[in-house]
Amino acid sequence: MVTVLSIDGGGVRGIIPGTILAFLESKLQELDGEDVRIADYFDVIAGTSTGGLVATMLAAPDENSRPLFAAKEINDYYIENCPKIFPKSSNGILGLVKSLFGSITGPKYDGEYLHSKAKKEASKDALLSDICISTSAAPTYLPAHYFQTKGFNGKSRRFNRFDGGIAANNPALLGLNEVTKEIFLQNSDFFPIKPVDHGKFLVLSLGTGSAKQEGKLNASKASKWGVLGWLYNNGMTPLIDSFSQASSDMVDIHASVIFQALHCESNYLRIQDDTLMGDTASVDVSSKKNWLKLAQIGTELLKKSVFVGR
């Protein structure tokens, strides 16, 4: 089996999947010992924006090639640093990410195949800190990020990057695509299965919650908005929120249909709450009251029944 973990973007709402992952890791530790980590159970961990930060915390190696963080530490880090990660000023995340991961280069692969691939494309071997800052650079919230890499020939390659959620706020399909590509290329790091054999895939897709749609958008009011109204209105960013949620939902629908069509729908699990209201639906409200609510939402999701199919 090939296992894939996907974590959506969503700013401070990363506390929701953080809560779920802490619970999952604790149960795995009950089975296999306190030293096991989430990364020991997934072949690929895909994350976008805040999900990219969570994915990095789960998978980035320490000096002993073990994950830097336990899942239970993710929310502690968010809670301690939320006002700095999602500040009203625009400098917080750069300093925090660099202090968190230092100058770790990424990606750091265990497999020889991917090591050789990184060496062949040295100009793409960026610092993990630059990658984290880039995928988290949500427009209107944080600045775009510029960095350079150098190839073996000494030539520089320039990157101008902003939030990965613009293209794929739900990175589940990207995770599947990456696995499929590597299997097709006969990467020895992956179980030798056919690239389209989705029955051998297990996918856990974690959302960060989304706003309750009923009453969120009033057509008569929206019809009077200009450009600025769509960009920012009553504490919300309607255009960005709509694109982000639509992107996540379309990926979920597509992945769900694929697994259903191949009669392996139980191999795909999406955990998401689409009833957020008020501050919990925001990506940058970092008050103690709000993060406590978000943690509770994650806990309540764990109590809900699982429905197979749609």
In angstroms, rounded to a whole number, what is the distance separating the alpha carbons of residues 31 and 73?
Answer: 20
Q: Is there a contact between 29 and 42 (Cβ–Cβ < 8 Å)?
A: no
Residue 21 three-state SS = helix
Whether 286 is catalytic is no
Tokens of 229: 């109204």
Closest CA to 122 of 146, 153, 161, 98: 153
Q: CB neighbours (10 Å) of residue 166?
A: 17
Outline where the chain has alpha helix (H): 15-32, 50-59, 72-85, 92-101, 112-120, 128-135, 165-168, 172-184, 219-222, 227-231, 238-261, 288-301
How far the first Cα of the chain sits from its last, in Å, is: 24
Angle at CA 122, nearest 5°, toward 118 and 123? 130
Query: Which helix or strand (DSSP H or E) is residue 4 part of?
Result: strand 2-7
Alpha-carbon distance of 68 to 206, in angstroms, equals: 21
Nearest to 236 by CA among 297, 298, 281: 281
DSSP bridge partners of 270 = 205
Cα 202 from Cα 3, distance rounded (Å) = 5
Integer Cα distance of 49 and 107 in angstroms:
16
Residue among 271, 245, 303, 262 nearest 5 (CA): 271
**CA distance linking residue 271 with residue 8, whole number of Å:** 10
d(CA 68, CA 55): 11
Catalytic residue (choose from 163, 252, 273, 284): 163
Catalytic residue list contains 49: yes
Which residues are part of the catalytic machinery?
Answer: 49, 163
